[in-house]
Structure 1
Amino acid sequence: MSSALAKATLTGYRWLGVALYPLIRGYLALRTMRGKEDRSRRRERYGYAGAERPAGPLVWFHAASVGETIAVIPLVREVRRRGIHVVLTTGTTTSARVVAERLGDTVIHQYVPLDLQFAVSRFLDTWHPDLAIIAESEIWPLTMMELGSRHIPQVLVNGRLSDRTFARWKKRPFLADALFENLALVIAQSEVDAERFRTLGALPVMVSGNLKVDTDAPPYDGAVLDTYLAQIGKRPTWAAISTFEGEEKAAGTVQLALKPRDGLLTIIVPRHPERSDAIEATLTEMGLKVARRTRGDVLTPDVDVFLGDTIGEMGLYLRMTEVCFVGRSLFAQGGQNPLEPAMLGCAILSGGNVQNFRDSYQRLAKNGSARMVRDTEMLAKGVHYLLNNEDMRRTMIEAGQETVHEMRGALAATIKGLEPYINPLTVKARLLPRQQSRLQQ
């Protein structure tokens, strides 16, 4: 009965995609107008290839957005080191820029095809991947079923399931079983995530830790950093990063409260830079003077807020301070990754809504490198305390860096788990030049 229900549901999903196709075209056009889709490459979303498939074994990596892309880059480099070709798909223009900046032409980047039968089939007909590696929690029903029908192994790496996502799947166990059984292997971030995947029918499941800990520190332009630090001078700074709506106003309130006492400069890096005009308007209405990175504004003494309205420069912003609030945690749900600020030497403050990064926050808080705040008033007190207590700030910074060091090892564990799938491709890649040489003779 459950098998029949799952089949009926997936068939309905397939036909729903066909019915909604005209609306999807309009939706993509709207996203293009807003700069969220690459107009010149929009055909890739329908499965059309933007490059030729190279000869030899090929692995398809998929990472939805920037965070997932950065997490899998070391793994992608390891696969490429073995001579295996990689096509890496992402879903956003910002993640595409990260791929271009960090991997260049060592991989083939494509935008991920829509989860529609014709788009997925066209993509797979072109690329013929020998293995599909998916990052974190990207579960697309038609894509998974199509890979399964073609007997292409699919592995979920750095896997995690948020409370909300897990609860949603648990309500549909028949559908979870039908989809998760297609996964050849799940490599989960934590024991909690692993048990959740097992509950939903995934086997086998292993735990690696978080790949984001094994990534390189985010890059930065040293000359730009030196310029800003010279402009800041002796002013104390703090940063509110990966902020969502409401959290920028909270950061502005902290600035208003502390600047008269501390001469404070607040750095705000919104999760979605396209909101920056609205954020600046809100802060200006509060009586704050805003400088923006995209305008090249100088950080004069009367500037209250430096708005980091760019993508891919978190390494710059975090190196401008030692106190950092990580957003999507005070007025929004889920939290954002706290490991980068810990890695780069920041004492961390956060709201309590960090369900998506629970394991990381638990480890950081246990070691004394992260503190939770309930509201804007508590955030202001936390910032003031850390800026004026160097010993405590230094203790938290050192504890954070030690925690990150202790958490490393996910990359090695992930590669070990993937060896049964990658090793045959490595052999095939090494044999290919010999075979081509013989044919030419």
Structure 2
Amino acid sequence: MNHHSHTLPPRPAPSLFFRSVMKLYSIFSVGAIPLFWIIAKKRLNAKKEDPKKVQHRFGITNVQRPKGPIIWLHAASIGETRMALSIAYKILQDHEKSYILITTQTLGAQTIVENIPRIIHQMAPFDSRVYVKRFFLYWRPSCAFILESERWPNLLYEAFKHHIPLIGINTHVSEKSLRRWSILKLFFSELLGLFSVCFTPSKKIKEYLMHASFGKGLIHLSPSLKYVLPSTVCANTHSPEKFSSVWSKKKSFFKGHLYWLASCIHVCEIPIILKIQKNLSKQIPNLLLILIPRHPDRFTDFPKNTAYRSKEDCILEKTSLYVVDTFGETQKFYQSASFCVLGGSITPEGGGHNLIEPVAEGCAVIHGPYFHHCPELYSAFIEKKASYLAKDVQTLTKIIQNFLIIPQNSKIQSQRAYEVYCSTQEEIHSYLDYISSICKEIIVKK
């Protein structure tokens, strides 16, 4: 990635073939408008949409557009939205007269961007030309940052036609998408060519896209924004020497109970975690498991003596399970726990979650072998022995038991992980400076 030149390269005009395909797609998306209404209604009934915001899906809003440049960040779910927030905080710090518009696809993602000064949240419009065009005519963003794999044809093409520079951040392409792209190589190559530039932390993705001529050479390697927490963007004060301060702030939530934390646990992983707790409790009296499910509403078959955070239940002597079925409190538990089992990695259905969040709070991480959604992130820690990889349930149980019986081992592991985390921060903040400078250039030109 070149940090010296901020000028975005001009985008070539799409070919007649691409314009023809997009015209057909546009006609189809307009014809599918009744289907979009049905989808919206089903999502409302399933409580996957906010009744106050479902109109955003049709490009309609009652939010007043502020006077001044708007930088648009488009994300899908919570993970991408956290990365978007890192960019947002940096831009807001450097450009006092600018505003940030963040669009998301999921209801959960909106909870972490609401009520932040100069940040506007909208649900992303359905990919019909009617809704997308309405969205752009109202918001008129100066430029757009598209997170990971959010590449909707109408959304990108309308942005291009409205002369909005498109920048891909943490560009990701799944193997399934790569196979699909191979069938329609020319179309997807030109779709990616609508971007002024794309950044990816994956050498594999960059090499594949370059080899397949996708994006006409506009793919560049960059640090992964999964390595940074939004709250640290403006401060940039993390250093290995600060670990002692982080560790000293740890406190027990439940006095009289030895406890361990299992976070971001998927439904299919919960029975495994509960079985481990049952086996460990036979050897360690009054052992408490703090369980933070990935989706609290999807699993209800917990033991009788379970305490729930949402009910403000008290922890009794016989309590062996405490379920954190509330949102936005995970960080508090990372700050207090000396280690955690990070879910989404124990069974193949997962794929891994962001281990930076616990590590940044001085919490050692134990995880399973399934982290195909973010292999570079996990590999960096595994190679430096900064996270524990448990390939099976028996190994997972032994590591948890070791950390519980010998707390010093979890502290050593936490410190090692914290050092790896700190080593990534300088490059990431340089990358964020570069992104901010791109915005400055675009805003000045407009």
TM-score normalised to structure 1 length: 0.85
Distance change >3 Å, CA 118–CA 257, structure 1 → 2: same
Give the whole-Å Cα distance in 2 for the aligned partners of 1:381 and 1:12.
58
> Residue 59 of structure 2 aligns to which amino acid in structure 1?
G
Q: Deviations over 1:39-88 (max 9, x none)?
A: 01211110012322223322111122222122221321222231222222
After superposition, the Cα gap between the structure-2 partners of 1:216 and 1:113, relative to the gap in structure 1 and judged at 3 Å, is closer
Higher deviation after alignment, 156-165 or 252-261: 156-165
Q: Is the 8 A contact 2:253 2:336 kept in 1?
A: no
Letter in 2 for 1:362: S
**C-alpha distance in 2, partners of 1:320/1:299?**
17
**Match of residue 53 from structure 1:** 65
Of residues 83-92 and 38-47 in structure 1, the stretch that sits farther from structure 2 once superposed is 83-92
Aligned residue type for 1:280? T
Kept in 1: contact 2:264–2:293 (CA 8 A): yes
Question: Would the aligned equivalents of 1:308 and 1:317 in 2 still touch at CA under 8 Å?
Answer: no
* Residue 324 of structure 1 pairs with residue 346 of structure 2: no
1:46–1:119 CA contact under 8 A, matched in 2: yes
Instruction: Select the residue among 398, 409, 413 that pairs with 2:431.
Output: 413
Quote the residue 1:435 is aligned against. none
| Compared CA separation, residues 423 and 250, structure 1 to 2 (3 A) | same
Q: Which one of the candidate residues 31, 46, 56 is aligned to 1:44?
A: 56
Change in 2 beyond 3 A, CA 1:302/1:144: same
Tell me by how many angstroms 1:404 deviates.
Answer: 0.7
Q: Which amino acid aligns with 1:341?
A: P
**Residue 368 in structure 1 maps to residue 382 in structure 2:** no
- 8 Å CA contact 2:143–2:442 kept in 1: the answer is no
Residue 257 (structure 1) aligns with:
279
Question: Structure 2 length normalisation: TM-score?
Answer: 0.84
Higher deviation after alignment, 229-238 or 385-394: 229-238
Change (3 A) 1:216 1:155: closer
Partner of 2:3: none
Cα distance in 2 between the residues matched to 1:315 and 1:407: 20
Query: Percent sequence identity over matched residues?
Result: 24
The correspondence of residues 306-321 of structure 1 with structure 2, limited to 5 A, is 306-321=322-337
Quickly say closer, same or farther: Cα 1:363–1:237, change in 2 above 3 A. Answer: same
2:118 is aligned with what amino acid? Answer: T
1:301 is aligned to: 317
Q: CA–CA distance in 2 between the matches of 1:20 and 1:374?
A: 46
1:156, 1:183 within 8 Å by CA — same for their partners in 2? yes
Q: 1:70 aligns with which of 67, 82, 85?
A: 82
- 1:76 and 1:216, CA in 2 relative to 1: closer, same or farther beyond 3 A? closer
Q: State which of 377, 383, 386 in structure 1 corresponds to 2:400.
A: 383
Inter-partner Cα distance in structure 2 for 1:197 and 1:414: 24
Q: Which residue of 1 aligns with 2:244?
A: none
Q: Do the aligned residues in 1 keep the contact of 2:77 with 2:108 (CA within 8 Å)?
A: yes
Shift of 1:132: 0.8
Structure 2: runs of 5 or more not aligned: 1-13, 233-249
3-state SS of paired residue (1:98):
coil
Specify whether residues 424 and 292 from structure 1 end up closer, same or farther in structure 2 by C-alpha distance, changes over 3 A only: same
Higher helix share: 1
Q: Kindly state the Cα deviation for residue 364 of structure 1 after the two structures are TM-superposed.
A: 0.7
When residues 304 and 10 of structure 1 are mapped into structure 2, their CA distance, relative to the original with a 3 A threshold, is farther
1:108 to 1:12, Cα distance in 2 relative to 1, 3 A = same
More divergent stretch after superposition (249-258 vs 235-244): 235-244
**Superposed counterparts of 1:31-430, under 5 Å:** 31-81=43-93, 82=95, 83-101=97-115, 104-199=116-211, 201-202=214-215, 203-216=217-230, 232-262=254-284, 263-275=286-298, 279-281=299-301, 283-284=302-303, 289-331=305-347, 332-408=349-425, 409-417=427-435, 419-425=437-443
Structure 1, residues 362-391: CA drift from partner, whole Å, max 9, x if none? 011111121222333332222112222334
Structure 1: gaps spanning 5 or more residues: 219-227, 429-441
**Aligned-CA RMSD value:** 2.5
| Structure 1 residues 199 and 21: CA distance shift in structure 2, 3 A | farther
- Number of aligned residue pairs: give it: 409
Residue 329 of structure 1 aligns to which amino acid in structure 2?
A: S
* Separation of aligned partners in 2, 1:327 and 1:171: 35
Q: Is the contact made by 2:291 and 2:322 (CA closer than 8 Å) also made in structure 1?
A: yes
